[in-house]
Amino acid sequence: MMARTNYLTDLLSSIFERTPTANGDTDSRSIEDLTRALVADEGEVSTLRLARSILRRYAELSFDEKHAYLTFLDRELDLDPFAVEETAQRYAEARTTAHLKALLAAAEPPRQGLFRKLNQVDGATARIVDMRADLLDMLADDDALGRIDLDLVHLLSSWFNRGFLVLRRINWQTPADILERIVEYEAVHAIGDWNDLRRRLQPPDRRCYAYFHPCMPDDPLIFVEVALTKGIPDSVQSVLAEDRPQLPPHQLNTAVFYSISNCQKGLRGISFGNSLIKQVVQDLSAEMPQLKTFVTLSPLPGFADWLGTQSEHGEAAVAAIAEARRGDLSALQAMAGNLRGLAARHLAQAKRSDGAPLNSVARFHLGNGAMIENVHAMADLSDNGLRQSGGVMVNYLYDLNRVERRSEAYLSNKTIAASRTIRSLLKSAPTKSPFESASGGARR
């Protein structure tokens, strides 16, 4: 299976590998005038020349100049609502193919055609992803640029469709430039050095998988780190311990997804994680049939802040977390039971206005068809783990026989699948704060 995947990767990479054409930018027009020319241009040669010039000029702009350029795209290359109204009326009166074609053309902002033309240039896909990363940095102060973001999300969702992605296993033989990116992009449990990376990749009970796109063959889009264990671990310290015991393969019965990192800021909101986990589960099941349990060991970002809103129990937890970050773990250890109950409440009962769980990681895994299996106090004692999650980590269980049904129930009714352990914790959890939403619940 993996040999076939590697062959496909090499094949696709060779197909899509293109050497950029050396072509100096001698056009003296402004980037705005070049853009107008490209939108109006229909010739292949001139399209490529103009697109190269625009991408080169954009890369050389300062942040403020990039903002001015994107504002130009927003204002000058927007759709014409009157043309949309007129063509829609014609189509309503006579639903002909010609009228539908005219309506579709009118309903698409010229910006989308621009981005498609830009994407014809060698290496342009990565540059457009970077352009969206710039855009995301600007949106907080200029929400009008959200119109361009809609265009880019629409296009990137198509260009990065799951059918175009290639799953590759990352191991100690992976090229060094890709390994360096894995170290750089790790967003959950920082990789300290090359020895730390080796411990996560080389042992037979460790795996790492990443999605790549043929137009970005050396830059991962997202990757997941997996520990193969006997039973479900209750802390990341045990997973990452240097002196952990090496078990024989026949004793390994659990695959633990303990870190998943999105690598490209410009692809934020374009989901790969759901299909990545499911594909890795399928591949591991085929490779190692003795694996019966597939579970995450996930952080609980935002939990520490939420505790501050939860009456005296939450306030005591916040104080204990502060002491733990200063090196004294005793108070946090003493209230481990309360922390687990509060975490269960946070996951299963704290809701947004739309009825979805407040916690973003919970929304991701529940929408993916997982069940909240367990919560563990003192599970991540790093400063980041204490600061964001109060040291708490969560197991989300992926049962291949139930993920589809659970995903449908969550997406349709916001039904939260929770184990007996979680329901028991909810019954014994500290008193609910009057500020917490009373909606929602937990079901197995």
Q: Are 219 and 181 in contact (CB under 8 A)?
A: yes
| Rg of the Cα atoms in the chain | 25
Question: What Cα–Cα distance (Å) separates residue 387 from each residue in 300, 315, 339, 384, 391?
Answer: 10, 14, 14, 5, 8
Pick the closest to residue 307 from 335, 326, 330 (CA basis).
Answer: 335
Active-site residue, from 213, 346, 365, 376: 365
Question: Higher-confidence residue: 5 or 58?
Answer: 58
Q: Tell me the per-residue pLDDT of 249-269, one tens digit each, with 9 for 90 and over.
A: 999 999 999 999 999 999 998
The total of other beta-carbon atoms located within 10 Å of residue 48's CB is 19
Q: What is the pLDDT of residue 19?
A: 42
For residue 298, indicate whether it is catalytic: yes
CA neighbours closer than 13 Å in the CB half-sphere of residue 378? 12
Measured distance CA(115)–CA(152) in Å, rounded: 8
Measured distance CA(232)–CA(130) in Å, rounded: 38
| Parallel/antiparallel/unpaired status of strands 254-262 and 293-296 | parallel
Q: Are 378 and 332 in contact (CB under 8 A)?
A: yes
Query: Could you tell me which residues come within 8 angstroms of residue 431 by beta carbon, excluding any fewer than 6 positions away?
Result: 311, 313
For residue 154, indicate whether it is catalytic: no
User: What percentage of the chain exceeds 70 in pLDDT?
Assistant: 91
Active-site residue, from 53, 259, 261, 298: 298
Q: What is the pLDDT of residue 312?
A: 74
H/E segment holding residue 184? helix 176-185
Least confident of 233-237, 246-250, 325-329: 246-250
Q: What is the pLDDT of residue 7?
A: 45
pLDDT band with cut points at 50, 70 and 90 for residue 236? very high
The pLDDT mean for the chain works out to 90
Q: What is the pLDDT of residue 315?
A: 87
Q: What is the pLDDT of residue 432?
A: 53
Residues forming a β-bridge with 167: 211
What pTM value is reported for the model? Answer: 0.85
Q: What is the pLDDT of residue 41?
A: 81
Residue reference for tokens 């802390």: 235
Q: Are 290 and 253 in contact (CB under 8 A)?
A: yes
Indicate whether 9 pLDDT > 90.
Answer: no
Domains of the chain (ranges; CATH) run 33-159 (1.20.140.90), 163-296 (3.40.630.180), 299-428 (3.40.630.150)
Indicate whether 3 pLDDT > 70.
Answer: no
Residues forming a β-bridge with 443: 417
pLDDT average, residue stretch 148-169: 94
